[in-house]
């Protein structure tokens, strides 16, 4: 089992290149099978989640040609099966985007039902409500969702909750339905817009992505395209909070500053300096950071995927901060780990009260999930002494060359898998 071992105390300084958005790429790869022509997708992050989804896509017969680490060509002509096995869904929930893609194109899809996950129970009722509204019969049998329609017909659909996944999944199916679909109360995240732009570049007719209402005029066929995925706002924000927590000076490159506004606003509130350029953002922290309150909300609110990273930073800010997690019920597990490093935290229901401390002290901690794992690495970088982060397989799902990027900013971090490697690291840094 691989771990990160970190010697904390170095401020992070320098420039770091941000990769393509994992969550946009997952949906775009699934949507790519909707064309029978070759689609080329660039700026893919080279992370485990993406590689698993590409296996799932190849597994149903589509041509998948990895041009290089960040570029893939997909052709959906050879798809012979519309059945996605539990193995894929278990490894990566977002395989459920193949439901919308297959149903839209072939009017039939069978996808294993995803269960809950480490951050909480994850219902998909809104996805299914959308498919049913478009005319599909949707049954759950033997752990599978089976969706089928003689034809899909556009409808006016009002989502009960704002869901990224449901918005994208239903948008994909509606892209190849007959007539006009109007989706209301949709998610406005940048990756929803990116998926709509991708589908439009294949000939779909989708308007309004990024607002509360999306209008989709169905088309019969989607054609070839070449598309570059947007930068990952969560990866960018992770490095921005790493700069804040380590009293560093980091410029995140290749980003869309507009997508980072909620993060930037909080960094300014706690006393960091933030400078925006056309495609970069610089964060400078000179210490003496102050507490604040934060509530996670759908975009353009503060992202739940940045909650652990801000939580770690607030635990080092002077005063009492309150975090309210309003999207997922089980996203404070990292705070128990952080308490082992000296943080002063109290969790009640969906809110956490954090009394800032001057320092963390290094400890052995476990990554409870992807973003929380990254946040614990930030804590280790800010801590006195040595921190070992276990279960980094979660981090590798969504961060490309995480330790290398951190090292390029001056972090002392290594990936290790044996006691011998740990001892070697200790000798090197002592
Ligand atoms: C996506 C992101 C995830 C991020 C989340 C919120 C991907 C692959 N994952 O997850 O990283 O944390 O958005 O920004 O893009 N809900 C329902 N019924 C549904 C669907 C959702 O009640 O049918 C609820 C969820 O339980 C949650 C809220 O809606 O409370 C938002 O979830 P959603 O936006 O769907 O998250 P995901 O798309 O799963």
Active site residue 117: yes
Q: How far is the CA of 165 from the centre of ligand 1 (A)?
A: 6
Of ligand 1's listed atoms, the one at least distance from the Cα of 126 is: 23
Of ligand 1's listed atoms, the one at least distance from the Cα of 94 is: 8
Q: How far is the CA of 385 from the centre of ligand 1 (A)?
A: 37
Residue 165 Cβ < 6 Å to ligand 1 = yes
Q: How far is the CA of 122 from the centre of ligand 1 (A)?
A: 7
Q: How far is the CA of 54 from the centre of ligand 1 (A)?
A: 21
Tens digit of each residue's pLDDT, the chain (430 residues):
899 999 999 999 999 999 999 999 999 999 999 999 999 999 999 999 999 999 999 999 999 999 999 999 999 999 998 888 888 888 888 889 999 999 999 999 999 888 667 877 789 999 999 999 999 999 999 889 999 999 999 999 999 999 999 999 999 999 999 999 999 999 999 999 999 999 999 999 999 999 999 999 999 999 999 999 999 999 999 999 999 999 999 999 999 999 999 999 999 999 999 999 999 999 999 999 999 999 999 999 999 999 999 999 999 999 999 999 999 988 999 999 999 999 999 999 999 999 999 999 999 999 999 999 999 999 999 999 999 999 999 999 999 999 999 999 999 999 999 999 999 999 999 8
Measured distance CA(412)–CA(403) in Å, rounded: 9
* C-beta atoms surrounding 95 within 10 Å: 27
Q: What residues does each domain of the chain span?
A: 3-19+231-429, 22-228
Q: Fold match between 3-19+231-429 and 22-228?
A: yes
Dump the DSSP string for 64-88. EEEEETTEEEEEGGG----EE-HHH
Give the tokens for residue 281: 């953002």
Contact 362, 386 (CB under 8 A): yes
pLDDT for 316 equals 98
Contact 155, 178 (CB under 8 A): no
pTM higher than 0.85 for the full model?
A: yes
φ and ψ of 2, to 5 deg:
-80, 150
CATH topology (fold) of 3-19+231-429: UDP-n-acetylglucosamine1-carboxyvinyl-transferase; Chain (3.65.10)
Residue 398 Cβ < 6 Å to ligand 1 = no
Residue 99 Cβ < 6 Å to ligand 1 = no
At which residue do the structure tokens 């969706």 appear?
147
Give the tokens for residue 242: 């790493």
Name all contacts of 307-310 with Cβ < 8 Å and 24+ positions apart. 307/331, 307/371, 308/334, 308/371, 308/372, 308/374, 308/375, 308/376, 309/237, 309/238, 309/241, 309/242, 309/371, 309/374, 309/375, 309/378, 310/241, 310/263, 310/266
- List the one residue out of 88, 96, 124 whose CA is nearest residue 31: 96
Instruction: Say if strands 71-75 and 63-68 run parallel, antiparallel, or are unpaired.
Output: antiparallel
Orientation angle between helical segments 370-382 and 307-314, nearest 10 degrees: 20
360's CB contacts (< 8 A; 6+ apart) are 8, 315, 316, 338, 341, 342, 343, 379, 380, 382, 383, 384
Residue 426 Cβ < 6 Å to ligand 1 = no
DSSP 221: -
Q: Which of 117, 272, 317, 377 is catalytic?
A: 117
DSSP 209: B
Contact 7, 429 (CB under 8 A): yes
Give the tokens for residue 16: 């770091």
pLDDT for 93 equals 87
Report helix, strand or coil for 97: helix
Dump the DSSP string for 102-158. HHHHHSEEEEEPP--BTTB----HHHHHHHHHTT-EEEEETTEEEEE-S--B--EEE
Is 122 known as a binding-site position? yes
**What is the dotted CATH code of the domain comprising 22-228?**
3.65.10.10
Residue 246 Cβ < 6 Å to ligand 1 = no
pLDDT for 89 equals 82
Residue owning the nearest CA to atom 30 of ligand 1: 327
Residue 122 Cβ < 6 Å to ligand 1 = yes
Residue owning the nearest CA to atom 8 of ligand 1: 23
Measured distance CA(300)–CA(69) in Å, rounded: 31
Measured distance CA(129)–CA(117) in Å, rounded: 21
């Amino acid at each position: 089992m691989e771990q990160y071992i970190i010697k904390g105390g170095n401020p992070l300084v320098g420039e770091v290149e941000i990769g393509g958005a994992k969550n946009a790429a997952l949906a775009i790869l699934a949507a790519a099978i909707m064309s029978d022509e070759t689609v080329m997708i660039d700026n893919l992050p080279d992370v485990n989640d993406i590689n698993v989804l590409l296996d799932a896509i190849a597994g149903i017969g589509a041509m998948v040609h990895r041009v290089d680490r960040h570029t893939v060509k997909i052709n959906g002509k050879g798809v012979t099966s519309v059945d996605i096995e539990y193995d894929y869904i278990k490894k990566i929930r977002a395989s459920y985007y193949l439901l919308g893609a297959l149903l839209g194109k072939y009017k039939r899809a069978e996808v294993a039902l995803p269960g809950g996950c480490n951050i909480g129970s994850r219902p998909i009722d809104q996805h299914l409500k959308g498919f049913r509204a478009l005319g599909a019969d949707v049954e759950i049998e033997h752990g599978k969702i089976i969706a089928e329609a003689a034809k899909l017909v556009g409808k006016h659909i009002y989502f009960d909750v704002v869901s990224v996944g449901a918005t994208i999944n239903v948008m994909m199916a509606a892209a190849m339905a007959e007539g006009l679909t109007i989706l209301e109360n949709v998610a406005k995240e940048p990756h929803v817009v990116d998926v709509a732009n991708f589908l439009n570049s294949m000939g779909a007719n989708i308007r309004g992505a990024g607002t509360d209402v999306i209008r989709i005029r169905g088309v019969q066929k989607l054609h070839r395209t070449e598309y570059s995925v947007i930068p990952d706002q969560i990866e960018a924000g992770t490095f921005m909070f790493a700069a804040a927590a380590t009293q560093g000076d980091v410029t995140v490159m290749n980003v869309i500053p507009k997508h980072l506004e909620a993060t930037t606003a909080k960094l300014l509130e706690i006393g960091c300096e933030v400078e925006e350029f056309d495609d970069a953002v610089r964060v400078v922290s000179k210490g003496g950071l102050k507490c604040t309150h934060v509530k996670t909300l759908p975009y353009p609110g503060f992202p739940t995927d940045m909650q652990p990273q801000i939580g770690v930073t607030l635990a080092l800010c002077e005063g009492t901060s309150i975090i309210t997690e309003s999207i997922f019920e089980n996203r404070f597990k990292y705070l128990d780990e952080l308490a082992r490093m000296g943080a002063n935290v109290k969790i009640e229901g969906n809110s956490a009260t954090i009394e800032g401390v001057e320092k963390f002290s290094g400890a052995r901690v476990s990554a409870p999930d992807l973003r929380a794992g990254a946040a614990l690495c930030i804590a280790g970088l800010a801590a006195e002494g040595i921190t070992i982060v276990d279960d980094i397989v979660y981090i590798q799902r969504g961060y490309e060359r995480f330790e290398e990027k951190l090292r390029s900013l001056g972090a002392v971090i290594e990936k290790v898998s044996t006691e011998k490697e740990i001892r070697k690291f200790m000798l090197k840094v002592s």
